[in-house]
Amino acid sequence: SGGDTYTIIYLKLLLLSLKDEGKLYYDGVESDFIKELALTIDETDDDVMVTVNYLINQGLLEVVTENDEYYLTEIPNLIGSETAWAEKKRRYRQNKQRTLSLMSPTHVRQEIDKEREGEIDKKST
């Protein structure tokens, strides 16, 4: 197995942990956490063991409680966030919308007032 397999395993673990905000639990279905993960994500025990060890060494996976709970540390950075560009674009659109909404009612109101004044002038002459 190679890096592509380990990357896919990491992605599967991220997806598996999404519903619990980055936490993975050992339920005791298999004899240990690695075998249970391998069964859950349909990968070999050896590949999952290599991936989990790598993730722990890199600080991407933390053991919260021995054999019960594990935490994928990058989940908060990957979910529910927006890129700097997306944030900038969102703020730009909000400002543009705010500017348009401030301009439109005033502009329309002035036109209506001018039309009414014109009608009043025509009637009085």
Between the alpha carbon of residue 50 and those of residues 22, 53, 96, the distances in Å are 19, 5, 51
Structural tokens at position 54: 């790598």
pLDDT of residue 116 exceeding 70, the answer is no
| Confidence at residue 112, expressed as pLDDT on a 0 to 100 scale | 61
Give residue-wise pLDDT tens across range 10-29. 999 999 998 888 889 888 88
Which of the two residues, 102 and 51, has the higher pLDDT score?
51
| Confidence at residue 110, expressed as pLDDT on a 0 to 100 scale | 59
**Interior CA angle at 72 toward 71 and 77, to 5°?**
125
In this prediction, residue 104 has a pLDDT band, given cuts at 50, 70 and 90, of low
In this prediction, residue 96 has a pLDDT band, given cuts at 50, 70 and 90, of confident
Mean pLDDT of 27-51: 91
pLDDT of residue 61 exceeding 70, the answer is yes
Q: Which CATH class is domain 3-78?
A: mainly alpha
